[in-house]
Amino acid sequence: MKIRTLALTAAVLLAGTAHAVEFNQVDAGKSTLAFSSKQMGVPVPGNFKRFTSQIAFDPAKPTAASTTLEIDLASIDAGSKDANDEVVGKQWFNVKAFPTAKFVSTGVKALGGNRYEALGKMTIKGQTRDLVAPFTFKQEGASGVFDGGFVLKRMDYNIGEGPWADVSAVANEIEIKFHVVANAATKK
Amino acid sequence: MNFTPPRYTGPAIAAHWVIAALILVAFPLGVYMHELPLSPTKLKLYSYHKWIGITVLLLFVPRILWRITHRPPAPLPMPAWQHRIAEGTHHLLYLLMFLVPLSGWLMSSAKGFQVVYFGVLPLPDLVGKSEDLGDLLKEVHEALNFGLLALVGLHVAGTLKHMIIDKDGTLRRMLPFAK
């Protein structure tokens, strides 16, 4: 009995070293995607309620990591009912023609410590731009927690056309903050 | 008769006209802007309206302190009931000068929009974001404003009565450059 337990423990330990731990099961319920716009100097917080993301992140080999993120733009909460009705419209996201925004990573850089940088392409409203998203990684039990943020210039993607192109009313810079929780699965 | 009635003090006169001018801009602006569809213009007008309101609130503090420490000139001869109405109107005007901008600030907080004075100085949110409270405070702000409108109307009507019917020097006591 004792020998069997020992053998089992050894097998588990061996498996642990032989197969790296990869965080790749995103927990949508614990992940959030928030943003803050500035209207006449007033920070107005908002978020997206629905988005799906795939992550493959092995802390031992961070540069091999990859991620994709797809945001359901109609799930936006931009701070008020008026704003929510407005931003799905043609001049803003035009969700009828472009229902989702998509980020696909092309690489991950290790910046030292628990700091990393995801490089990739963001596509919103038919416009694709290079994007750099710094983030931190933290292991909490069986979960990996990714926290990061970046500034997105809305005019790069024509978010807010016509009169809304006036960045003195709504600033060009939109602060994006993401918090993604992914569980580990053993890599084969 | 060569009698010149005593006038209000300089600071009292300045505060009266500056605040009157601010209210005369903020009130119609508020009536106009709230029906507009969402646009950059609407966001700007809302901000200007809030900045004016906060300015009134800021000026109210020294004004009321000055009023408490400096008695206004004695009233010109008039029936006691008229004097009581004039005085009551003044007191209520002071009250609304404070409550109207305060209710606007509260409403802005409840609606989830912080007031950033002149777009650079963030003021604290007085209450947390709440749709129900925001809607309630909108009603309160509106009701207080119509109260203010009625009182300003009464105040101006009183002044006109003194000018046209009594032909006394009531208005002159508050005019900036009168002798």
For B130-140, what is each residue's pLDDT tens digit?
999 999 999 99
- Would the pLDDT of A169 be above 90? yes
**C-alpha to C-alpha distance for A118 and B85, rounded to whole angstroms:** 71
Compare A44 and A21 and report the one with higher pLDDT. Answer: A44
Alpha-carbon distance B143 to nearest alpha carbon in chain A (angstroms): 23
**CA–CA separation, A69 vs A148, rounded Å?**
13
Does A20-186 carry CATH code 2.40.128.110?
yes
Report the Cα–Cα distance between both ends of chain B, in Å, rounded: 16
Residues of A with CB under 8 A from a CB of B: 39-45, 79-80, 82-83, 85-86, 163-164, 166, 168-170
- Closest Cβ opposite residue B38 in set A40, A42, A83: A83
Query: What class has domain B10-174?
Result: mainly alpha
Cα–Cα distances in angstroms (integers) from residue A94 to residues A76, B41, B128, in the given order: 12, 21, 31
Map out the domains of chain A as residue ranges: 20-186
Q: Looking at chain B, which residue has its C-alpha nearest residue A91?
A: B39
Domain regions of chain B by residue span: 10-174
Tens digits of residue pLDDT in B39-96: 999 999 999 999 999 999 999 999 999 999 999 998 888 999 999 999 999 999 999 9
Question: Is B36 near chain A, with CB under 8 Å?
Answer: no
Stated pTM of the model = 0.87
Q: What is the DSSP letter of B75?
A: P
Question: Do the chains contact at B119 and A41, CB–CB below 8 Å?
Answer: yes
A181 contacts A30 by C-beta, under 8 angstroms: yes
CB spacing of B112 vs A80 below 8 angstroms: yes
Residue type (1 letter), B73: P
